[in-house]
Structure 1
């Protein structure tokens, strides 16, 4: 007899990541009575400051940005009905190649075993049935996303726990449509100026292809009913609105694009058949 509720734990890098990648499943499973736990690893201090001021520009106060983003994160959790929010509060490492990567206390610079030990404590406390984080490339190569994957997998090994484990992904079939919408709404995915962020142009890298072929995706979860909540959770991160092009679409178009969340299952002890449409298949 299980003496605790079914539990979903999502391990994310920054405030606002929870809404973009897993806002739908967090809202859906909360509505189904499942306990939802969000672990946010960094303080988000490399995000925009008031008025859209960028890291490295005059007037960007990392401590103030972190405090503001913490409030927005709580507001997002309230919208998604997240049961428990846990913050590890490592320093935001910025984009790959930024000077912030190697700043004291940055998540990227933190030894994996240290972060894993802290996350292992939360795993033992909540004993999640399902754990969600990023793939080994952090979905698109962000250092904090990569580190979140590393500490999550290391923490699971440390505890010996065997929940179902998923990595967020996107179907390649949807990427062309995604690019078309970005252009339609005036976004060209520009990166910040390396001169302003302290990054080294010599470290420019070829971006791995994002997402997976459709046939490699194991899990397709319909969260259309919760598209409005997901949109509102993103909107709660108002200070980063310039970077969240999804908000330009309006709820209807947003839900059309983001109404199904996709994952690849990398650990499972239930034997549930794939493809599946429920992270908790085989558990209830």
Structure 2
């Protein structure tokens, strides 16, 4: 028998589930009569590799990163409470499109050349939508989550995941009651960085990572946030999940603080709140629960 509350999260690559919605996954996976399903669209084959001893996995060397990241994702999801998990179309059906940096900071754009199985290729949307609808029809989630239209920082795979999720929700209005976009506001990020700096005694060098320049980390408009989910009770699960993504996330910790970075070594704080925008919400909407108002 299906759980009364059902949440489906659509993510582009292994580690996105942890970085973007790890606390939300852990929170709802621990709640009674609540089913959580995570869809991962690619294996993240084009990611950069942080540990030098694993450099041969990289796409321009051994090109074995995707297989390695399957193991990382399995461990991360276990740390987050063991939600149901599926790969869109099966593991390896769609390949990480990759990206090129565009503009200031960490913004990304479509690379000039695409792999034949590239997830963001222009002519495969219909096939991908059918695959996602198969999952929706099986799980029948009342709540669907992915990224905002900008893909957080412009990564073409995040943008495609957003487009697919919006289309899936529109195609199944009798199933999906609420569609959310996971975001991080500039205000929340600034608050987290300030708290991290205080915990480090005012010395950003204690993290061993580079402090971000102004506007270097993309941030969402604070006024558009509709939903703030308190995930502070699940810090341990989130940290364990981040550590599981060894090739992608560098986790640092000290007395009273935890921070992390990607391969760019730009510090990011561990935040106790995960933010969302409810699609189609009335102005001024303010929630603390993704299932608020959902009939079960």
TM-score per shorter chain, which class? 0.7 to 0.9
Could you say what secondary structure the match of 2:9 adopts? strand
1:253 offset after TM fit, Å? 2.4
1:56 offset after TM fit, Å? 5.6
Whole-Å separation in 1 of the counterparts to 2:165 and 2:4: 21
* C-alpha RMSD over aligned residues: 3.0
1:195-274 equivalences in 2 (<5 Å): 210-213=219-222, 215-241=223-249, 244=250, 247-249=251-253, 252-254=256-258, 257-267=270-280, 274=285
Gaps of 5+ in 1: 191-205
Whole-Å separation in 1 of the counterparts to 2:97 and 2:246: 21
1:127 offset after TM fit, Å? 0.4
Where does residue 172 of structure 1 map in the other structure? 186
1:29 offset after TM fit, Å? 0.6
1:147 offset after TM fit, Å? 0.6
Going from structure 1 to structure 2, the CA distance change for 1:226 and 1:133 (only over 3 Å counts) comes to same
Whole-Å separation in 2 of the counterparts to 1:152 and 1:98: 19
> 108-117 or 251-260: which moved more?
251-260
- Determine if contact 1:101/1:108 at 8 Å carries over to the other structure: no
Going from structure 1 to structure 2, the CA distance change for 1:35 and 1:169 (only over 3 Å counts) comes to same
Could you say what secondary structure the match of 1:20 adopts? helix
TM-score by length of 1: 0.80
Where does residue 107 of structure 1 map in the other structure? 119
Could you say what secondary structure the match of 1:149 adopts? helix
User: How many residues are treated as equivalent by the alignment?
Assistant: 257
Could you say what secondary structure the match of 2:8 adopts? strand
TM-score by length of 2: 0.77
Where does residue 70 of structure 1 map in the other structure? 70
